[in-house]
Each structure stands twice: as structure tokens, then as C-alpha cells.
A and B are shown apart, each in its own frame.
Chain A
Amino acid sequence: GAVVSQHPSRVICKSGTSVKIECRSLDFQATTMFWYRQFPKQSLMLMATSNEGSKATYEQGVEKDKFLINHASLTLSTLTVTSAHPEDSSFYICSARDPKNTEAFFGQGTRLTVV
């Protein structure tokens, strides 16, 4: 299947700093990517839909000024958690669809810990 690469896999940062997470589709072009958040023992919750060349669409309750999404190319979307706080600690996962068969593929996830 198609490959989606997410980096970094783990990051620890201090409160008040910003963290950038990258999501790349390695062998296909993705005009749309999705960012999810997963708390321990819970399922994935969609945060936003990242659209290449345009603004991201955020789900209700997700602060767009806190979770900045940039989708500057057909193979890269970034999520920046700005002014991170301990409550932002979570597992963040990106996803992209292979346009050939509509199957969704996921990155390896990023474990963010804010101390």
C-alpha cells in the first residue's frame, strides 16, 4: 500500500513553546490530508482537513490559531502546535488518501509531551 511518513515520532517540549509535526505522502500525491488526535485508550478524533494550496477546515472545538496547518505541496502537510500546554499532550496522527483507490493511509503518529 501507499506510504505516509510522519515526523517526529516523539517530542517533548516545554510549556509555551511551539512544535511542528510533518506528514508526507511518499509515493503518491495527496491534495487532502487529515489530522487526528488520540487520547489514551480512546479512538481517533478528527481535528482538521488539510487542503493543498488553501486553508484548512477545522472541526468544531478545534482552535485554528493554536493548531496551525500548512499544506504547501501535494506531498507535505504540517501541523504546528503553538504555545503548547500540558493539556495538548497527546498522540497526533496524520492521514492521506491514495487517489487511485480511495484507501486511507496513516502516518506512524507523533507522541507529544508538554512539560
Chain B
Amino acid sequence: NAGVMQNPRHLVRRRGQEARLRCSPMKGHSHVYWYRQLPEEGLKFMVYLQKENIIDESGMPKERFSAEFPKEGPSILRIQQVVRGDSAAYFCASSPRGGGQPQHFGDGTRLSIL
């Protein structure tokens, strides 16, 4: 009974490179959320997706960041031309549907920018 799967667990990139973070939701879950946790700060919402649809991207920077959740395969959070300030833990969470159902988190991807 696999939980939310994220990979990679750790990702190191140099400034200007691209980072791709993957998330497979729990079985039966169709709602995916991405959150970012900067060092010594709280969790902040980035984007909410359902299959093939972005529902809310109000927390995601307008430039360099994009997210998708295709019909087949995992959700992808992409960060282009990374900068030092992108260094953070990125967590994916999933829920079976809306209506106030709790979200379950993956182990996260720790992104470090050199």
C-alpha cells in the first residue's frame, strides 16, 4: 500500500540548470498539491493539480516554475534556470478528492543549488 512517492530524494543543481521533481500520488488519489519549505520557514502552498488540469497555481512564482499532472505518469514540478534561492525542500501531497479530505505527504525532494 504505497504512499506518496517522490523522487529524487536529493537533487543538486548548479545555478542556471533545470530541476525536475516527480511525484506519484497514493493509489486512488487524483488530487496533487506541491508545497515548498524554505530553511527554517513554514510550508507554503505552490500549486494544486488534478489529472491534466492545473486548479490553482497562485502560490507558484510566475517565472521559471511550472507544473503538470499528465493523464499517464507522475506529476512534475519543473524549475528552470535555478537560483540559490530555490534551495528548499519540496513536498508533494495527495488526497482522494476534495471536500476537506486530509492530504498525505511524500518524503520530499531536497533541492540544493550550488
- A and B from one complex: no
